[in-house]
């Protein structure tokens, strides 16, 4: 598969980190 244009693709690599941060935040809120 062609790889060079892939290098310019925009991918949200950090998404899992943000998902986790969001979860932790709302879990803490849920616990009060």
The residues binding another protein (CB under 8 A) are 1-3, 5-19, 21-27, 29-31
Q: How far is the CB of 20 from another protein (least distance, A)?
A: 10
- How far out from the chain centre does Cα 26 lie? 16
Backbone angles phi, psi at 31, to 5 degrees: -75, -15
The tokens of 17 are what? 């980190």
Q: How far is the CB of 32 from another protein (least distance, A)?
A: 10
Smallest distance from another protein to CB 26, Å: 5
């Amino acid at each position: 598969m062609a790889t060079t244009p892939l290098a310019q693709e925009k991918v949200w690599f950090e998404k899992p980190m943000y998902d986790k941060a969001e979860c932790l935040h709302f879990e803490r809120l849920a616990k009060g």
